[in-house]
Structure 1
């Protein structure tokens, strides 16, 4: 019991203190000018000349249910709901957030069944959202946006926007942020149910509330959930949950990493992998995202953690780089670990998202590329690059943690603003099966649906915003024939804001 009490104290104290003392979360920022008002004016002027900015305009109300117009044939064996989350509200009362990551979360549901597709979208009614909706204006500074006379920010959940991912858990949906609690939603109505208390009905009770819970949990084939949470102090919480979302184990490690962002992670059959990018924070710069700087002489570090003990067993160093997202990891019989990432040569993409929010889209960005890594049991590392721009990697979900042949990613062929293509990469041969929507489309993450779990078929589905018509469409591909293009498109009669991540729940 002493060990449990010690862990409770470790989790409740340093992590909460690190979050509250983080400069980006301090209340009542001092500012000489209203940068959020300036941002709104800049963006409005730019939008008149750059229609491709439509995806980051944002909206101020929910989307009522609508039946979508079908183009092509809807597969009879594809039934269920595709859920997608992302920042939906970027501006209030003449003020606009300064970074894309700050907008209030909005979950979209595309329900497929009986030969039809229906759509609805709702804002996630966090405490922050409800207070600001009632006031008719922003009340809190964001991680980057400095609001004059901001209300006091007691902890990260005070500004939790629940805007990054959504996963089905035990009949509910969990909308995920990064720095705070998950938010539970009704999977049918999309109504907000409230924050998830990971420690409920355990010895930790209330002590885990508000701790960071990343937007990229990994689900094993049986539904077991693994996740982590990164705090600015360098501490990382590790979570092991049942398929029903009940806590099975939790631990705390001190990574020593104070670069400001660890966005994603990996699991294998036996291990957790945390990759720490080549970042440091410039604490003289206001704002979390603005302060994150790439350090080209700083190697990336990989922490290999035992799933059984939740302790670090090995450390590896990789060449300097920056990463948001990983596809998959697995280990061979010789205990070598293999994984992929969409690797950036620097972190300009992070700051490009601030440029877009003020209407700038012609700033050069160093794109990511799929790179395969091997961590050898003898301590050495190997890497192999695959041609083409790469982001939002996905694999068949039942192969998470096990060897996969296929890797699905977004790419870009014609556009320098956003992704415009989807592709399947055969990791055994490096061959690519590519479909390009074209520069008139802003293409979002596509997810795999393989209800037979045989990794030989299934569907690849995702949304894309058509700039000229200002409409969003849901696109359905045969996963093993991406280059053939969508076999069906379901068109909304309007555009919805560009989102980040989502998942499919079969019915």
Structure 2
């Protein structure tokens, strides 16, 4: 589908539907604004997808498809992200604070459907009943109105969703995973891997290798817990160890033999926290200190080493692999905390602001000499993904949503493939009227080669105020999407998710 047909299809798709009943019943207008909450979130069509819902579930039995969904693309594309930001006349200050909403885009012979339900955490249920916020949030200082028994009292289950042993897990890095039924999206409650691990942090970024082995971690200031699971979803081993102190470690990466973490120099000012500030507003950037690289052996979690690199900020890794005792990995680099604690609160008020660029960076870690070197590119992007068949193995390609217009760094409006061997890129520009979420790779049926896949993601059309799923041939992004599945409504912007093909 070329660029002109893409824009034409967006217009047709949006005009083919009336606004759903819930949108008018809750006071939403076509532009997604609300008189009741106008002082909290100023009307800004570019940011409607960050406005949030009121707690309602939504569904669409058959999205309007432009183009043709590939015959071998059959399965469930699960997404998770913050879906509710306002209660009782109060709005969260930070995107990370919203209650988790899990989405299921289902690709079948009958077409594409969409279903989304809020994760029924104890927090969500209590606050829905009370009609107000009851507990502090990560980035918003709220006076607690119920006992804070553990971090799970504040668990929003809003960051990622994976399928494990037949059920979904809605993930939030500060506490327990929440189990969900993969068909109905009904919440089944918090998951504990063993009695001694109940309530332990379980990161939103587990790494799943091609054989189904899964690795994950959780941090508690100067402690890290690491997990290994079998392809059948059974806990193989875990270990708690002392680690470099950092107020936030969001992601990690695995190679053939190691788990690798980067601890940015972020201090938590306990005096500010105890004075009533949020955790985000109590974080302090220590740019004169180094970032610490923790390297742990997969075969024995008790064996590790720590190396140092100049101070940098990151949220997401792409992949890692090693050869001859040299690890190569990639991540998305920022200079400091400004995007996190300055830019995000502004967009949560509906303000148009330009973020600091986040760019691709690449580390070479020589374990023979304990030396690290880094190279960088200038592209502005986020949310790197690789073909799931090469997780923890040597990869040639990386895929990202990218900010094509660098004057507006906070709008990811294109997709890009980077060839690590040649340095060449392939991509598609959706234009100023769209903003994109993370895109994931779905291997084509019968394929064996890395990159022989479909690239599937979700976007928001600013002009029509509706959301869509897009499908690209990952080997030819510049040709444009081969199919778009349009919803008759917009959905809150998500963080992460995964596609599970039908057998």
* Counterpart check, 1:196 vs 2:191: yes
Q: Name which of structure 1's ranges 384-393 and 281-290 shifts more when overlaid on structure 2.
A: 281-290
Measure, in 2, the Cα distance between the counterparts of 1:187 and 1:46. Answer: 35
1:346 positional shift: 1.4
1:41 positional shift: 9.7
Q: Match of 1:86?
A: 81
- Say whether the 8 Å CA contact 1:267–1:328 is kept in structure 2: yes
Report 1:386-425 matches (<5 A): 386-414=377-405, 415-425=408-418
- Say whether the 8 Å CA contact 1:297–1:320 is kept in structure 2: yes
Report 1:179-194 matches (<5 A): 179-194=174-189
Q: Match of 1:343?
A: 333
* Counterpart check, 1:51 vs 2:42: no
Report 1:33-432 matches (<5 A): 44-45=38-39, 47-60=41-54, 61-199=56-194, 206-232=195-221, 234-257=222-245, 259-285=246-272, 286-332=277-323, 334-351=324-341, 352-362=343-353, 364-376=354-366, 377-414=368-405, 415-432=408-425
Aligned in 2, Cα 1:78/1:395: closer, same or farther, shift over 3 Å? same
1:80 positional shift: 0.2
Measure, in 1, the Cα distance between the counterparts of 2:494 and 2:402. Answer: 16
Aligned in 2, Cα 1:436/1:194: closer, same or farther, shift over 3 Å? same
1:311 positional shift: 2.2
Aligned in 2, Cα 1:115/1:65: closer, same or farther, shift over 3 Å? closer
Aligned in 2, Cα 1:417/1:389: closer, same or farther, shift over 3 Å? closer
- Say whether the 8 Å CA contact 2:40–2:91 is kept in structure 1: no
Q: Name which of structure 1's ranges 48-57 and 392-401 shifts more when overlaid on structure 2.
A: 48-57
- Say whether the 8 Å CA contact 1:361–1:417 is kept in structure 2: no
1:366 positional shift: 1.6
Which secondary structure does the structure 2 equivalent of 1:330 belong to? strand
1:49 positional shift: 4.7
The runs of at least 4 aligned residues of structure 1 exceeding 6 Å deviation read 40-43
Q: Match of 2:27?
A: none
Measure, in 1, the Cα distance between the counterparts of 2:491 and 2:382. Answer: 21
- Say whether the 8 Å CA contact 1:327–1:407 is kept in structure 2: yes
Aligned in 2, Cα 1:192/1:163: closer, same or farther, shift over 3 Å? same
Aligned length, in residue pairs: 458
Which secondary structure does the structure 1 equivalent of 2:113 belong to? strand
Measure, in 2, the Cα distance between the counterparts of 1:188 and 1:219. Answer: 22
Measure, in 2, the Cα distance between the counterparts of 1:479 and 1:294. Answer: 38
1:51 positional shift: 1.6
- Say whether the 8 Å CA contact 2:42–2:351 is kept in structure 1: no
Aligned in 2, Cα 1:147/1:381: closer, same or farther, shift over 3 Å? closer
Deviations 1:39-81 (A, max 9, x none): x999724755522120111112000342100011110011001
1:88 positional shift: 0.5
Q: Match of 2:9?
A: none
Which secondary structure does the structure 1 equivalent of 2:226 belong to? strand
- Say whether the 8 Å CA contact 2:41–2:349 is kept in structure 1: no
Which secondary structure does the structure 1 equivalent of 2:38 belong to? helix
1:420 positional shift: 1.1
* Counterpart check, 1:495 vs 2:485: no
Q: Match of 1:504?
A: 499
Please give the TM-score of this superposition, normalised by the length of structure 2: 0.88
Measure, in 1, the Cα distance between the counterparts of 2:260 and 2:157. Answer: 24
Aligned in 2, Cα 1:100/1:489: closer, same or farther, shift over 3 Å? same
Q: Match of 1:433?
A: 426
Which secondary structure does the structure 2 equivalent of 1:393 belong to? coil
Measure, in 1, the Cα distance between the counterparts of 2:448 and 2:147. Answer: 48
Q: Match of 1:4?
A: none
Deviations 1:92-112 (A, max 9, x none): 121111211010000000000
- Say whether the 8 Å CA contact 2:43–2:350 is kept in structure 1: no
- Say whether the 8 Å CA contact 1:339–1:372 is kept in structure 2: yes
Measure, in 1, the Cα distance between the counterparts of 2:40 and 2:135. Answer: 26
Which secondary structure does the structure 2 equivalent of 1:394 belong to? coil
Which secondary structure does the structure 1 equivalent of 2:378 belong to? strand
- Say whether the 8 Å CA contact 1:87–1:163 is kept in structure 2: yes
Deviations 1:122-152 (A, max 9, x none): 0000111111122222221212322235222
- Say whether the 8 Å CA contact 2:60–2:487 is kept in structure 1: no
- Say whether the 8 Å CA contact 1:410–1:423 is kept in structure 2: yes
Which secondary structure does the structure 2 equivalent of 1:130 belong to? helix
Which secondary structure does the structure 1 equivalent of 2:262 belong to? strand
1:293 positional shift: 2.5
Which secondary structure does the structure 2 equivalent of 1:207 belong to? helix
Please give the TM-score of this superposition, normalised by the length of structure 1: 0.87
Measure, in 2, the Cα distance between the counterparts of 1:379 and 1:476. Answer: 42
Measure, in 2, the Cα distance between the counterparts of 1:52 and 1:322. Answer: 26
Residue ranges of structure 2 left out of the alignment (5+ in a row): 1-33
Measure, in 1, the Cα distance between the counterparts of 2:451 and 2:242. Answer: 41
Measure, in 2, the Cα distance between the counterparts of 1:488 and 1:401. Answer: 30
- Say whether the 8 Å CA contact 1:141–1:150 is kept in structure 2: no
- Say whether the 8 Å CA contact 1:76–1:115 is kept in structure 2: no
RMSD value, Cα: 1.7
Q: Match of 2:31?
A: none
Which secondary structure does the structure 2 equivalent of 1:387 belong to? coil
